[in-house]
Amino acid sequence: MRVSQRSVLTGICVLLTCFSGQAAAKKAPTPKTVDAGSFGVYVNGQRVATERFEIQQQEDGSVATSELQTENTGENMKQKARLQIAPDGALRRYEWHELSPGKAEDVVEPSEQFLVEHITPEPPAKPQDQPFLMPISTAILDDYFFSQREILVWRYLAEGCGGTITPTCKLSKTQYGVVIPRQVTSATISLEYAGTEQVTIRGTVHTLSRINLTTDTEEWVLYLDQNLKLQRIVIPGQNTEILRD
């Protein structure tokens, strides 16, 4: 059964390499929202944080914005992020801002053919730069911003099957280089389509597509609905579950 939605596929194309290159109209088109909403973060069954996000298709690429707020933890942590991607999938700029309890900032951007992270910590620590010998096509997968995982899954589907999941297109296990700005490090992860599963969310059974995201130390399980929207993430090793509200 074909699993796709035109609006989502359009967003995938702009995030990656399907940009048509047509001449721009005299008046810039209104940005189109590809996905928006919120994810609840649960640890041992208790909600501890919420990520609110929006992914927009624009004339010259895509922009994903996110804001994270902790809940029921006694800690008032608030962060926001903005990810800008060119039509060919290259990173243009990533910004992370700590709003509470501190005021630290990070920026990742291209430096010639590679990437550099500009780190502005809390005073009195001094700003510093961290270069990465990673191409500008490297994905950003920062801590706590789960919508960035959705963007990477769209990339995987677009490169493997043109942005769809069909019986005739076999999605193979694929490796990606990523930068994790909050950890000031890079890594290699892999994505692999694992078929469909019957998944119960808030008492309702859903048929969802499963994508396994693996690192050297752990596995995340990502579930997408028929419109390729991320609905659930399970991190077994951390007793953590992320659910779309």
Asked if residue 162 is part of any domain, the answer here is yes
pTM, two decimal places: 0.87
Asked if residue 106 is part of any domain, the answer here is yes
Q: Which one has a higher pLDDT value, 15 or 206?
A: 206
Asked if residue 198 is part of any domain, the answer here is no
Domains in the chain: how many in total? 1
CA atoms within 13 A on the CB side of 99: 12
56, two tokens? 């927009």
CA distances from 21 to 154, 200, 231 (A): 20, 42, 32
Q: Which domain holds residue 116?
A: 6-18+33-182
Asked if residue 61 is part of any domain, the answer here is yes
pLDDT of residue 29: 75
Contact call for residues 58 and 39 (beta carbons, < 8 A): no
pLDDT of residue 4: 45
Asked if residue 28 is part of any domain, the answer here is no
pLDDT of residue 15: 52
Q: What is the DSSP string of 14-33?
A: HHTT----PPPPSSPPPPEE
172, two tokens? 């193979």
Query: Residues 82-105: what's their mean pLDDT?
Result: 95
Tens-digit pLDDT profile for residues 154-186: 999 999 999 989 888 889 999 999 999 999 999
Task: Look at residues 26, 28, 76, 78 and name the one whose alpha carbon lies nearest to residue 56.
Answer: 28
Asked if residue 115 is part of any domain, the answer here is yes
Asked if residue 234 is part of any domain, the answer here is no
pLDDT of residue 123: 80
Average pLDDT, the chain: 89
Tens-digit pLDDT profile for residues 61-87: 999 999 999 998 777 899 999 999 998
Asked if residue 113 is part of any domain, the answer here is yes
